[in-house]
Amino acid sequence: MTDSDSHHDSPEESPATDTAEPTPASQAPVETPVAVNKNGDEPKPKKPKVVLCPYCGHAQQQSDRCSDCGGLFEPLSRRATQIAMGPWYIRNKNSPFRPGCSYEVLVKMIEAGGVGPMTVLRGPTTRQFWSVARNVPGIAHMLGYCHACGAHVDKDADLKNCPSCDAVFRSVKQRNELGLQFPNRRAAEAAQRSLNRLLGIAPAEADGEVPETTAEDAESMSEDQDQVVAAAAAAGDQAPESIFEQDAGTPAIAAADDQQRDLISDLLGDTVPTPPSAPAPPPDPAPLPDAPPQRAETPAPLTASTPDEPHPAALPPRREINWLVVLLVALNVLVAAAVIAFVATRSGEG
């Protein structure tokens, strides 16, 4: 037998690298070291961060834009919103938490058709009570109405007075003035003392000297003094309370809705950071380093897309039909018809 034959008859002597068994070291899985804290416990996974929208208060996971109102969180948009803010509020169920706007923004809304005569709003000239736009001083004449007498006026004529009743049409451009009936603490305390006297309530002990009522305070109180006196006489022993006293005991006011409360408590506990902003008092947290640069975009957070229908009490009163006048007119028509028929009959006989 030759060497070549012995080579083919001995397969066990040939190399077998393709079928070699893996070494035990290659089978062992690679273990990743687990970080532990000082106490030897594994750290808890980090919860996702949430932000609180500065425009509407909506809590959501970290983002560049509010998922509820659509406002941008970057500093330029926050600055643009601050510029547009003011003491005028438009009732809109789609955006119930939107801040107030300035008089200039409200004028632009009227020119764009976003605010109409039946839009419900409030501002400095309504003492922050809700009213229909056609009855609001400083606004009604731009919608074609006189706020005092309700007469139609030319909204494009830039009138200073009403042609029918001579009411003054003025603009209210104070940006930080709510127009409250009692604008300072002294006026409010004087009004409270007057109300207590009407209700027969003994005055509380004062910590210091009680300020005297000035002419300005008396003018503020005299605006609706007759109505207050009549209401106090009708109330009897019933003590009045402001709307804020009612809200103080309402759980829905003290806490957010269930979804928002669960989101805040589950993700952050008691800490809710606000989105980054430009340096301003109070300072906002610095922007995250990993956040991509945002393009400056000026939002339009103050719009009136779908104003609510006005309350019937805020609409002008309807005139009732005088049925006695209608009856007399009908009788006159019947008498005239009878006279005409009688005259026609006599003429035919003649």
Give the tens place of pLDDT for each residue, 208-244.
Answer: 555 565 666 566 556 566 666 666 666 666 556 544 4
Confidence label for 6 from pLDDT (cuts 50, 70 and 90): very low
pLDDT at position 171 is 84
Q: What letter represents residue 82's amino acid?
A: Q
In a domain, 70, yes or no: yes
| Chain-centre distance for alpha carbon 296 | 25
In a domain, 321, yes or no: no
CA-CA distance, 159 to 169, in Å (whole number)?
A: 7
In a domain, 37, yes or no: no
DSSP state letter for 95: S
- Cβ neighbors of 277 (< 8 A, separation 6 or more) are 54, 75, 78, 284
Average pLDDT over residues 193-201: 83
CA-CA distance, 275 to 50, in Å (whole number)?
A: 9
Which burial class, exposed, middle or buried, applies to 92 when counting CB atoms under 10 A from its CB (0-12, 13-18, 19+)? middle
Q: What letter represents residue 88's amino acid?
A: W
Confidence label for 303 from pLDDT (cuts 50, 70 and 90): very low
Contact in structure between 285 and 93 (CB atoms under 8 Å):
no
Res 176 pLDDT > 70: yes
pLDDT tens-place string over residues 156-174: 888 999 999 999 998 888 8
pLDDT tens-place string over residues 73-118: 988 898 899 999 999 999 998 889 989 999 999 999 999 999 999 9
Instruction: Choose the weakest-confidence range: 157-161, 245-249, 266-270.
Output: 245-249
Average pLDDT over residues 24-53: 65
In a domain, 144, yes or no: yes
pLDDT at position 345 is 83
Average pLDDT of the chain is 72
In a domain, 324, yes or no: no
Average pLDDT over residues 115-135: 95
In a domain, 196, yes or no: yes
In a domain, 40, yes or no: no
Residue positions counted in the chain? 350
Contact in structure between 322 and 108 (CB atoms under 8 Å):
no
Contact in structure between 255 and 261 (CB atoms under 8 Å):
yes
Average pLDDT over residues 143-151: 95
CA-CA distance, 264 to 255, in Å (whole number)?
A: 11
What's the domain range around 231?
50-204+211-312
* The overall pTM is greater than 0.75: no
CA-CA distance, 173 to 218, in Å (whole number)?
A: 25
In a domain, 27, yes or no: no
pLDDT at position 140 is 96
**Could you give phi then psi for residue 199, rounded to 5 degrees?**
-90, -5
CA-CA distance, 185 to 227, in Å (whole number)?
A: 22
Q: Where are the beta strands (DSSP E) in 54-191?
A: 59-61, 85-90, 101, 120-122, 131-132
Q: Taking each helix axis from N to C terminus, what angle separates 185-199 and 225-235, rounded to the nearest 10 degrees? A: 40
Please tell me the total count of domains within the chain. Answer: 1
What residues are paired with 51 via a beta bridge?
60
CA-CA distance, 146 to 148, in Å (whole number)?
A: 5
Contact in structure between 86 and 102 (CB atoms under 8 Å):
yes
Higher-confidence residue of 324 and 74: namely 74
Res 153 pLDDT > 60: yes
